[in-house]
């Protein structure tokens, strides 16, 4: 899975450069992303290229949020398409993570 890591001031932006985050991709996602977010305080997941997420993908993102929260950090999400946003709202993820329309809005929110 292609992951792009960008540092913008003190914010770590992780761009998931993959179209799918489903069962076959979840292990790869966790292996790539969990080490990146360890001990980070300000993180943005940019999901602009992510076309489809399923329940296991949500679980993988939640794993990252749990780890970052445990390190007193925070993950914010931006650039979700409509279907991904609908899924996040369905399982109430928007209650525990801030979701922004653009990366800039997410960066500015820290």
Q: Which stretch binds other proteins (CB under 8 A): 1-9, 29-37, 51-59, 98-106?
A: 51-59
Verify binding: residue 77, other proteins, rule CB under 8 A.
no
40 binds other proteins (CB under 8 A): no
Size, binding site for other proteins by CB under 8 A:
25
Q: Where are the alpha helices (DSSP H) in 1-110?
A: 23-37, 55-70, 82-90, 103-108
Between the CA of residue 66 and those of 71, 76, 83, what are the distances in Å?
Answer: 9, 13, 23
User: Which tokens go with 26?
Assistant: 């979840």
Judged by CB under 8 A, does residue 47 bind other proteins? no
Contact pick of 7, 9, 10, 24 for other proteins (by CB under 8 A): 24
Among candidate residues 68, 76, 82, 81, the one with its CA nearest the CA of residue 98: 76
70 touches other proteins by CB under 8 A: no
Q: Does 1 bind other proteins (CB under 8 A)?
A: no
């Amino acid at each position: 899975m292609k992951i792009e890591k960008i540092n913008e001031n003190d914010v770590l932006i992780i761009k998931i450069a993959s179209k799918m985050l489903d069962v076959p991709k979840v292990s790869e996602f966790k292996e790539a992303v969990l080490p990146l977010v360890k001990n980070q305080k300000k993180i943005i997941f940019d999901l602009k290229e992510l076309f489809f997420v399923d329940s296991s993908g949500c679980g993988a993102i939640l794993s990252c949020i749990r780890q970052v929260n445990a390190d007193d950090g925070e993950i914010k999400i931006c650039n979700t398409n409509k279907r991904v946003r609908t899924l996040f709202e369905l399982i109430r993820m928007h209650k525990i993570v801030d979701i922004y329309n653009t990366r800039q809005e997410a960066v500015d929110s820290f």
